[in-house]
Structure 1
């Protein structure tokens, strides 16, 4: 069956809804993985598409049996997060990262899948048995999803809590989860839209940034980047927000330096040249996520630490948490 291509609905950063309105919201654990739309055509096949729409099925061979989890002839498009779990059952993006980008290396993906499988967290159904469900409220879509009873060795449908937002926020924080996603139960599914009907709350301050330059390291870091100069999209340009020099392993720096050398350019890509000497400038296309303490009045990130590259994001999306 030909299934409609559907872009994922996105959440807006924010805070808990007013306490007196929590009965109008559902609360789900925020997962730290790769967002994916899963296409089950009803013939036993599964196609996994990333947020950008790329077919990444070959990167996750352990998810293939999900295509046979529905009875023959039944079809669905599911919204999910692909995660790698740690020993406490929490999603760990660092563990997942080696698997991302292996769509063109299926043999390598099979080796890694046998050693350390991923898990698909299913949280929405937007198409089912020939019916487009994007116009239905969250409550109806959730009922349809739960009736599918999709639970298997590499996928599950975790419960969503309606009401009790303060409790959900506290429990996710106490258990070391990344955060919480609040979804208005009357909301329809808005493909490709960053909607205020879905609110994401992180338990740490993070920002998506674009690398615009780097400074060479010294000592044991000679030949490697000592720090990267990062910015965020603002007013049509790339605004410098700081220098990040911690958070990498040596192997991560080695992998990063190859990407930086390949992207070198002579001109500074920032709207205003940062006050640093000896910088190497690069094409602003590598997106990363950093953790930081606070943002200064001038917009700089204080005490930033590198978390990860974000190959699933475009440079234009780096403005999402800015202002």
Structure 2
């Protein structure tokens, strides 16, 4: 059961989002997990991440749940771990060996059915076919499409502390990774992935992560992230990034002349404390807002992401 929480009204943001959602849209909750494509071919099921890594060994019970798919079938979906409060919990998903009973693959689209390419069919027809092939089980479910209005969906997401909604045109064809108006993500709570370009040392290996995002081919500094860690996660994060050490600062916009109003600016003097990394690791960061200088305020580390291509990490909000 999802647990509601109170919070400040945000009418302006809601009105902005509603203006950008088409009247022909369908709505799904934005799930915080791993995007996975499942391919059933040659009598076997293979799970592919967005970076085309095969994840069968990590999630064998998901493979078993999907073995009921027809031969020569491809579906798209999200692997999600639910926490004790009934909300998606990405940290729990990373501890996949101890969280098996909480992890479910939510299928939301089908690309190929029994060898037939479905990508040019409208979403409404693809959903009908998808529903006919998905057999819900402990680890497999169909991502639900809401019959609520956009306003009702936004209110529900905000009151339950969820990440956002995905709006999709019912008559839209399948266009993977393209922001063309056929589908659109709307985040309520600000959170996204950032590239790790350095850190400052600390008791458990690191004190703060130095993160940024790409603008064209340039990595741009955005924030130092210190909150959200406990000793165990500091040690875990440090173990995964320490081998990326380099002598060259990867951020194109450093050093900065001033620390700025909120103290997030990274000056030449502060850079002396930093250890630089090759931009090969990605972290999920929650934050309050963007500043006018494209920095983040009130950041919080959530988790490392190994399913994201660093070169595709851009500013999303």
TM-score (norm 1): 0.82
After superposition, the Cα gap between the structure-2 partners of 1:306 and 1:225, relative to the gap in structure 1 and judged at 3 Å, is same
The 3-state SS of whatever aligns with 1:169 is helix
Pairing of 1:241-280 with structure 2 (within 5 A): 241-271=222-252, 272-273=254-255, 274-275=266-267, 276=270, 277-280=272-275
Q: Find the counterpart in structure 2 of residue 307 from structure 1.
A: 302
The 3-state SS of whatever aligns with 2:280 is coil
Question: Which region of structure 1 is more displaced relative to structure 2, 161-170 or 118-127?
Answer: 161-170
After superposition, the Cα gap between the structure-2 partners of 1:19 and 1:306, relative to the gap in structure 1 and judged at 3 Å, is closer
How big is the shift at 1:75? Answer: 3.8
CA distance in 2, matches of 1:77, 1:42: 12
Q: Find the counterpart in structure 1 of residue 260 from structure 2.
A: none
How big is the shift at 1:180? Answer: 0.7
CA distance in 2, matches of 1:260, 1:128: 41
After superposition, the Cα gap between the structure-2 partners of 1:223 and 1:79, relative to the gap in structure 1 and judged at 3 Å, is closer
After superposition, the Cα gap between the structure-2 partners of 1:21 and 1:287, relative to the gap in structure 1 and judged at 3 Å, is closer
Q: Does 1:97 align with 2:82?
A: no
- Select the residue among 162, 169, 175 that pairs with 2:154: 169
RMSD (Å) for aligned C-alpha atoms? 2.3
Whether contact under 8 Å (1:16, 1:182) holds in the other structure is no
CA distance in 2, matches of 1:117, 1:270: 38
**Count of aligned pairs:** 289
Whether contact under 8 Å (1:80, 1:123) holds in the other structure is yes
How big is the shift at 1:177? Answer: 2.3
CA-to-aligned-CA distance 1:71-98 (integer Å, 9 cap, x gap): xx64421111011112233221110012
TM-score (norm 2): 0.84
Any gaps of 5 or more consecutive residues in structure 1? 1-13, 100-108
CA-to-aligned-CA distance 1:268-295 (integer Å, 9 cap, x gap): 1111233113211111111112111111
Q: Find the counterpart in structure 1 of residue 312 from structure 2.
A: 317
- Select the residue among 290, 296, 304 that pairs with 2:291: 296
How big is the shift at 1:42? Answer: 7.3
Q: Find the counterpart in structure 2 of residue 150 from structure 1.
A: 135
Any gaps of 5 or more consecutive residues in structure 2? 1-14, 256-265
How big is the shift at 1:232? Answer: 1.2
After superposition, the Cα gap between the structure-2 partners of 1:152 and 1:283, relative to the gap in structure 1 and judged at 3 Å, is same
